[in-house]
Amino acid sequence: MKIQKLDRRQFIFGTTTLVVGSGLASFGIGSHAFMKVPTIDSLDIKVLVDSSYDSPRPGTNQWVKIKRTPFISTKDYRKALHNEWGLALALESRIGQDKKSILLDYGYTPAALMGNMEIMDVKPERQDAMILSHGHFDHFGGLIAFLKVNRSKLPADLTLYVGGEDNFCNRKTASGSPGHFADWGVLDRRELDALKVKIVYCEKPTIIQGHAFTTGVINRGSFEKVLPNTLVEFSKKNGIGCDMPELNAKAEGKFVKDDHIHEHGTAFNLKDRGLIVISSCGHAGIVNTVQQAINVSGVNKVHAILGGFHLFPAPNDYLISTVEALKQFNPDVVIPLHCSGPAFVTTMRSILSDRLVTSTTGTEFQFGS
């Protein structure tokens, strides 16, 4: 990496300790050391659930092949892709002849998730593992029903990789008059246990299926802040919720501002091209997430940044700062999904238009050979 590029990045984060390789003790892998991450030959990403659909049209980009699944099923005209507020991705990577399939997040409803999987030809029986990015219902709403229908088709040792205990907390969102809250759902561990799904906590960076890696808990060193979303409770009631007594005591047993402390990103190191960083919702900040992937892996080149960036509530000056910061990573493509917001796309077009690739439900991205 050129020194000039490091200087710009240091300016973004306001620190001189951000030189890649320093200060990694917080990841539990030692200072000036990196986790050895796999190198894949190709990655196929199918957007199973997103918040919109666009008509199929040819897609050309020097870095990624783009396809769009027709809105109506080619096998049954009575079936169509469904859009909803949420995100679900099917990831298929290849190293030589070895292929791995991973589901990342599960949308808001099982009907949209499983219906779209059928139309996009994503076979449940081919999935090797599952990842949950964070504890919001629009990312795990389809999970339990999907498992109940398909558990017998999935691996006996099926593993769900979660960011940490925080992913199981009870959440609410402000609604209506002051003091009134609307339920935002909670993932019940007992249902996963009953379905014999192994849970792996990824507070530290974790290799998944020998192909992908998670960022671990995301260090928040940039200008970014957690934009308004939900309120969270750090206790367990009637067997449901998260067991985080220190935070619960600090919160005095009340619902408090949700910082998604165990949100994690998913990343791949693509041969000859660099990191593909997926931020499913980006509450921890998309800039922080990308920097975390670099710090964890020691791979300086960023090939693609995609996912939900949770920027739909952001003011214009914040959006400009975000795009300028992403520009310093020099990514080949930036693909906003889900909660990124139309204003982010507009800002990208004004500052970094040659890197912008848009997406909808039914889009398929093919990276690498």
Q: Does residue 7 carry a pLDDT above 50? A: no
Q: Does residue 175 carry a pLDDT above 90? A: no
Distance CA 255, CA 72 (A): 43
The CATH architecture annotation of domain 3-368 reads 4-Layer Sandwich (3.60)
Question: What is the band of 57 on the pLDDT scale with cuts at 50, 70, 90?
Answer: low
Question: What is the band of 173 on the pLDDT scale with cuts at 50, 70, 90?
Answer: confident
Residue-averaged pLDDT of the chain: 89
Could you tell me the two tokens for 344?
Answer: 């982010």
Return the ∠ at Cα 139 (arms to 135 and 145), rounded to 5°.
105
Sheet of 98-106: strand order equals: 64-68, 363-368, 42-49, 88-95, 98-106, 129-131, 159-162, 198-201
SS (H, E, C) 27-51: HCCCCCCCCCCCCECEEEEEEEECC
Amino acid 110: pLDDT: 97
Domain boundaries, the chain: 3-368
pLDDT 10s digits, 8-33: 333 334 332 333 332 223 333 344 46
Q: What percent of the chain has pLDDT over 90?
A: 82
H/E element, 100? strand 98-106
CA nearest 285: which of 313, 321, 310? 310
Question: What is the band of 184 on the pLDDT scale with cuts at 50, 70, 90?
Answer: confident
Q: How far, in Å, are 21, 179, 191, 245, 278 from residue 335 at the CA level?
A: 27, 37, 34, 38, 9
Question: What is the band of 179 on the pLDDT scale with cuts at 50, 70, 90?
Answer: low
Strand, helix or coil for residue 91: strand
Q: Can you state the angle between helices 316-328 and 3-13, rounded to 10 degrees?
A: 150
Could you tell me the two tokens for 18?
Answer: 């951000």
- Higher-pLDDT residue of 229, 99: 99
Q: Does residue 43 carry a pLDDT above 90? A: yes
